[in-house]
């Protein structure tokens, strides 16, 4: 509990452990589950839990790992905290796989019921995709070299991957079969082509509106993001069925006004497009021109990254004068289709953090309603093995990708479903074929592990996220005196921890409202760090941390230790600064200057 004595304690505990020979001793789990005295015991307990999870994943084991994540050694050593976080993430994947697998053995649901079980249930099936995405990000930011022998941990991650592929594929096949039995018509479910008329047009009648198109924003990602947003907005998340095939050219055009009357057409060179009232929509410039022509009012368009970290005066003025603000983003598709799986896994969730910041900026610019929609979802698992690749139907092909074939004629097989495009509510004489499960067609090129275009729930169920600003309630916040303490006085490894503490003066009138914060390490105003975990309150979607009050002392913030990975280490010795940011307002709460950075081994 004495933060000023922790380094001394670690030194003496290490010495005593060596004298006792603890590293060579074995203990049963029940003997050490409540012991925090020595680092060797912490490592041994991690190994015990990893081994137990490999045998059978239980909520007890995951909860035990979560409790240790806020223990002494996890707060003192960021690699220990990162290890616990990865154990928890893998355990969560295994638990969600078990739950979904069990649910799929129950009496068969119809397609509409399956959609709601996946998206809107109290414990939705889409959590399987969320936990898998979070596990993969943690795995690809984990420093196995620094952590030493972690064979059981790697085996745990590999098992979680296998279970995700097995159960996720079974879920996809069950949904696609039910969707087919419903003749691909779910009358009570919102369709992507209805989003503009049912959401955007009514919002415009009420005031300034932002319409954000996010490429490959999977439903489960929007759900996780919505859960992190503050109470200053009314938030509504609705699942919708994407237009088919679930590719960018079609999905983005389906977000335009009048898209419910669109026709899917061939645009030559095995490319598809939407024809909306005689206008062929092929690419971004076509979409923007069509939208502006169909709106009675001022429309400004920009890319999402033009708002970061703060919009320039030209864009700010344009937003303030516009009726509709269109923001577009394609980072997820561009990143993941580049086939750098390691980089994609590490950084694809940055989009969620950027969206959260964009919401704050737009609200500050007096945007009344923000509507976020996606063109399609995706599958992102292991690389397809040869056994998971199937022959394309052949025939007259208009477009073919790993997850979809569109054309006329050709063969039919049990490994994929076939239907008419018209069955999905679009005008066309073309047909579609999509693999069931996680299989893919044999095609040249393309990404190795990231796919979309098909009918799996991960691809075809997309989010409509609506945020409406609440009236300013004038809530006052007392000033808090913050302190930041780095785990070491020099950044010499890829991981560093930062201890956060806060306290207010007795004399203040109002209750403390603990903020949601972001911790950044900067070199010359460039952020070089990625938050990876925290003692408590870490939000996977945005890497922000929700702080809390001490139970016994409402004047004091419960101390928290945040672990960060240095993602972009400087090429030479330099100094850095550590910043504590209020995530809701962007205001800097505290700063530490002149922290030496000397990472010698990369």
Give the mean model confidence (pLDDT) for residues 119-145.
93
* pLDDT confidence bin for 472, thresholds 50/70/90: low
Are residues 468 and 391 in contact, defined by beta-carbon separation less than 8 angstroms? Answer: no
- Residue 267's pLDDT is what? 87
- Residue 147's pLDDT is what? 65
**Polymer length in residues for the chain:** 602
- Residue 478's pLDDT is what? 58
Are residues 484 and 580 in contact, defined by beta-carbon separation less than 8 angstroms? Answer: yes
Give the separation between CA 333 and CA 345, rounded to whole angstroms: 12
Instruction: Spell out where 393-472 has E strands.
Output: 396-401, 404-408, 416-420, 431-435, 440-441, 450-451, 461-469
Give the mean model confidence (pLDDT) for residues 56-66.
96
- Residue 148's pLDDT is what? 66
| Closest of 557, 531, 575, 215 to residue 377, by C-alpha | 215
Give the mean model confidence (pLDDT) for residues 310-314.
91
- Residue 508's pLDDT is what? 57
Instruction: Tell me the per-residue pLDDT of 439-450, one tens digit each, with 9 for 90 and over.
Output: 999 998 777 899
Instruction: Tell me the per-residue pLDDT of 543-586, one tens digit each, with 9 for 90 and over.
Output: 999 999 988 888 889 999 999 988 888 888 899 999 999 988 88
- Residue 480's pLDDT is what? 87
pTM (two decimals): 0.91
Is it the case that residue 505 has pLDDT exceeding 50?
yes
Among positive and negative, which fits the CA dihedral 506, 509, 515, 517? negative
- Residue 49's pLDDT is what? 97
Give the separation between CA 464 and CA 261, rounded to whole angstroms: 20
Is it the case that residue 285 has pLDDT exceeding 50?
yes
- Residue 583's pLDDT is what? 87
DSSP, res 585:
T
Strand partners, 518: 581
| Closest of 99, 176, 175 to residue 130, by C-alpha | 99
Are residues 84 and 50 in contact, defined by beta-carbon separation less than 8 angstroms? Answer: no
Cα Rg, the chain, nearest whole Å: 26
| Closest of 286, 260, 258 to residue 273, by C-alpha | 286
Give the separation between CA 123 and CA 242, rounded to whole angstroms: 23
Q: Which two tokens stand for residue 91?
A: 């355990």
Give the mean model confidence (pLDDT) for residues 262-278.
91
| Closest of 149, 185, 586, 552 to residue 353, by C-alpha | 586
**DSSP run (H or E) holding 452:** none
Backbone φ/ψ region at 495: left (φ over 0), alpha (ψ -120 to 50), beta: beta
More confident residue, 553 or 155: 155
* pLDDT confidence bin for 475, thresholds 50/70/90: very low
Q: Are strands 396-401 and 379-380 parallel, antiparallel or unpaired?
A: unpaired
Q: Are strands 379-380 and 369-374 parallel, antiparallel or unpaired?
A: unpaired
- Contacts (Cβ under 8 Å, ≥6 apart) of 493: 146, 599
Q: Are strands 440-441 and 389-390 parallel, antiparallel or unpaired?
A: parallel
Q: Which two tokens stand for residue 196?
A: 């503009």
Are residues 461 and 119 in contact, defined by beta-carbon separation less than 8 angstroms? Answer: yes
Give the separation between CA 275 and CA 282, rounded to whole angstroms: 9
Among positive and negative, which fits the CA dihedral 227, 228, 234, 240? negative
Weakest-pLDDT range from 74-88, 338-352, 379-393, 415-429: 338-352
Weakest-pLDDT range from 154-158, 199-203, 513-517, 532-536: 513-517
Give the separation between CA 27 and CA 43, rounded to whole angstroms: 12
- Residue 3's pLDDT is what? 73
More confident residue, 147 or 520: 520
Which string of DSSP letters, residue by residue, matches 91-121?
HHHHHHHHHHHHHHTSSPP-HHHHHHHHHTS
Give the mean model confidence (pLDDT) for residues 458-465.
98
Strand partners, 82: none
Neighbours of 115 (CB within 10 A): 25
Strand partners, 546: 516
Is it the case that residue 307 has pLDDT exceeding 80?
yes
Average confidence score pLDDT of the chain: 91
- Residue 601's pLDDT is what? 47
* pLDDT confidence bin for 474, thresholds 50/70/90: very low
- Contacts (Cβ under 8 Å, ≥6 apart) of 220: 124, 126, 127, 129, 130, 133, 458
* pLDDT confidence bin for 501, thresholds 50/70/90: very high
Among positive and negative, which fits the CA dihedral 447, 452, 454, 458? positive
Give the mean model confidence (pLDDT) for residues 14-23.
94
Instruction: Tell me the per-residue pLDDT of 214-254, one tens digit each, with 9 for 90 and over.
Output: 999 999 999 999 998 877 789 999 999 999 999 999 999 99
Neighbours of 315 (CB within 10 A): 18
Strand partners, 434: 417
Instruction: Tell me the per-residue pLDDT of 82-119, one tens digit each, with 9 for 90 and over.
Output: 999 999 999 999 999 999 999 999 887 899 999 999 99
Give the separation between CA 469 and CA 593, rounded to whole angstroms: 36
More confident residue, 7 or 131: 131
| Closest of 451, 435, 444, 512 to residue 477, by C-alpha | 512
| Closest of 403, 455, 402 to residue 424, by C-alpha | 455
Is it the case that residue 206 has pLDDT exceeding 60?
yes
Residue at token pair 């691909």: 184
- Contacts (Cβ under 8 Å, ≥6 apart) of 212: 304, 326, 327, 328, 329, 355, 358, 370, 371, 372, 373
* pLDDT confidence bin for 343, thresholds 50/70/90: confident
- Residue 536's pLDDT is what? 92
Give the separation between CA 49 and CA 44, rounded to whole angstroms: 9
- Residue 571's pLDDT is what? 80
SS3 (DSSP) at 570? coil
């Amino acid at each position: 509990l004495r933060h000023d004595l922790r380094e001394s304690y670690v030194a003496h505990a290490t010495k005593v452990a060596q004298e006792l020979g603890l590293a060579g001793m074995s203990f049963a789990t029940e003997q050490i589950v409540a012991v925090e005295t020595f680092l060797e015991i912490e490592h041994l307990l991690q190994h015990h839990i990893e081994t137990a999870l490999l045998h059978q994943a239980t909520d007890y084991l995951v909860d035990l790992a979560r409790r240790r994540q806020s223990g002494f050694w996890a707060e003192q050593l960021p690699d220990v905290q990162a290890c616990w976080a990865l154990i928890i993430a893998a355990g969560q994947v295994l638990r969600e796989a078990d739950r979904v697998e069990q649910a799929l053995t129950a009496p068969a649901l119809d397609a509409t019921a399956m959609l709601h079980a996946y998206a809107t249930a109290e414990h939705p099936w889409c959590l399987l995709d969320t936990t898998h995405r979070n596990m993969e990000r943690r795995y690809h930011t984990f420093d196995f070299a620094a952590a030493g022998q972690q064979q059981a941990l790697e085996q745990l991650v590999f098992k979680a991957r296998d279970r995700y592929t097995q159960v996720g594929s079974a879920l996809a096949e069950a949904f696609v079969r039910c969707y087919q039995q419903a003749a691909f018509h779910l009358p009570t479910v919102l369709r992507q082509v209805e989003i503009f008329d049912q959401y955007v047009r009514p919002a415009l009648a009420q005031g300034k509106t932002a319409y954000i198109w996010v490429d490959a924003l999977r439903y489960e990602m929007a759900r996780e993001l919505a859960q992190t947003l503050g109470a200053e907005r009314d938030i509504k998340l609705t699942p919708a069925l994407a237009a088919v095939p679930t590719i960018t050219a079609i999905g983005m055009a389906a977000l335009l006004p009048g898209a419910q009357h669109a026709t899917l057409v061939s645009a030559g060179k095995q490319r598809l497009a939407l024809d909306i009232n005689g206008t062929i929509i092929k690419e971004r410039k076509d979409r923007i021109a069509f939208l502006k022509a169909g709106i009675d009012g001022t429309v400004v368009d920009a890319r999402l990254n033009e708002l970061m970290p703060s919009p320039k005066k030209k864009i700010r003025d344009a937003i303030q004068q516009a009726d509709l603000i269109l923001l577009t983003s394609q980072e997820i598709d561009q990143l993941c289709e580049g086939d750098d799986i390691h980089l994609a896994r590490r950084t694809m969730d940055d989009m969620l953090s950027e969206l959260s910041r964009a919401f704050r900026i737009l609200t500050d610019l007096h945007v009344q309603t923000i509507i976020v929609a996606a063109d399609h979802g995706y599958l992102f698992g292991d690389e397809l093995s040869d056994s998971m690749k199937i022959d394309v139907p052949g025939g007259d092909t208009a477009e073919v990708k790993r997850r979809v074939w569109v054309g006329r004629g050709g063969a039919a097989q049990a490994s994929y479903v076939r239907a008419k495009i018209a069955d999905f509510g679009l005008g066309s004489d073309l047909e579609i074929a999509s693999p069931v499960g996680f299989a893919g067609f044999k095609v040249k090129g393309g990404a190795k592990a990231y796919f979309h275009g098909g009918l799996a729930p991960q691809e075809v169920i997309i989010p409509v996220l609506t945020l409406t600003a609440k009236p300013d309630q004038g809530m006052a916040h007392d000033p808090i005196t913050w302190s930041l303490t780095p785990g070491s006085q020099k950044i010499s490894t890829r991981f560093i921890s930062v201890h956060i503490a806060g306290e207010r003066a007795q004399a203040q009138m109002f209750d403390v409202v603990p903020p949601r914060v972001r911790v950044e390490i900067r070199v010359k105003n460039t952020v070089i760090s990625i938050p990876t975990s925290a003692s408590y309150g870490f939000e996977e979607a945005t890497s922000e941390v929700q702080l809390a009050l001490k139970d016994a002392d409402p004047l004091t913030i419960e101390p928290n230790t945040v672990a960060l990975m240095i993602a972009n280490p400087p090429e030479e010795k330099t100094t850095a600064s550590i910043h504590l940011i209020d995530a809701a307002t962007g205001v800097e709460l505290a700063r530490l200057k002149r922290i030496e950075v000397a990472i010698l081994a990369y």
